[in-house]
Amino acid sequence: MAEEVKLFGMWASPFSRRIEVALKMKGIQYEYIEEDLSNKSPSLLNYNPVHKKVPVLLHKGKPVAESLVILEYIDETWKQNPILPADPYEKAMARFWAKFLDEKLWPAAKKVVLSKGEEHKGLIEEIQEHLKTLESELKEKKFFGGESLGFVDIAANIIFWLLVVQETLGLDILTEDKFPGLHEWNHRLLDDAVFKECVSMERLLASFKVRFGALTASK
Amino acid sequence: MAEEVKLIGMWGSPFSRRVEIALKLKGVQYEYIDVDLTNKSPLLLKSNPVHKKVPVLLHNGKPIAESLVILEYIDETWKANPILPQHPYDRAMARFWAKYIDEKCLPALWNACWCEKKDREKAVEEGNVCLKTLENELKDKKFFGGESIGFVDIAANFIGFWVGVLEDVVGVELLTIDKFPILCKWRDEYVGCSVIKENLPSKEKLGAYFRTRVESASQSK
At A113, the pLDDT band (50, 70, 90 cuts) reads confident
**Could you tell me if B17 and B34 are in contact, meaning their C-beta atoms sit under 8 angstroms apart?**
no
d(CA A173, CA B187): 47
pLDDT at B214: 86
pLDDT at A199: 85
pLDDT tens across A142-176, in order?
999 999 999 999 999 999 999 999 998 889 999 99
Residues of B in contact with A100 (CB under 8 A): 50
Contact B99 A69 (CB under 8 A): yes
Contact B89 A88 (CB under 8 A): no
pLDDT at A96: 98
Chain A residue at shortest CA distance from B102: A103
pLDDT, tens digit only, all 221 positions of chain B: 467 999 999 999 999 999 999 999 999 999 999 999 999 999 999 999 999 999 999 999 999 999 999 999 999 999 999 999 999 999 999 999 999 999 999 999 999 999 998 999 999 999 999 999 999 999 999 999 999 999 999 999 999 999 999 999 999 999 999 999 999 999 999 999 999 998 899 999 999 999 998 888 777 65
* Of B157, B137, B147, B130, nearest in space to B67 by CA: B157
Query: In whole angstroms, how far apart are CA B168 and each of B102, B125, B172?
Result: 22, 18, 7
pLDDT tens across B173-212, in order?
999 999 999 999 999 999 999 999 988 999 999 999 999 9
Which residue in the set B64, B65, B133 is minimally distant from A50, CB to CB?
A: B133
Contacts of A179 (CB under 8 A, 6+ apart): A131, A132, A135
Residue to test with chain A: of B83, B89, B133, B136, most A Cβ within 10 A? B89
Predicted-complex ipTM score: 0.96
Residues of B in contact with A129 (CB under 8 A): none
pLDDT at A208 over 70: yes
CA distance B205 to chain A (A): 31
Residues of A in contact with B70 (CB under 8 A): 92
HEC-encoded secondary structure of A108-157: HHHHHHHCCCCHHHHHHHHHHHHHHHHHHHHCCCCECCECCCCHHHHHCC
pLDDT at A219: 44
pLDDT at A120: 84
% of chain A with per-residue pLDDT over 90: 80
* Of B92, B99, B83, B199, nearest in space to B145 by CA: B83
Mutual angle of helices B181-192 and B120-138, in 10-degree steps: 70
Chain B residue at shortest CA distance from A98: B69
Which residue in the set A66, A93, A95 is minimally distant from B96, CB to CB?
A: A66
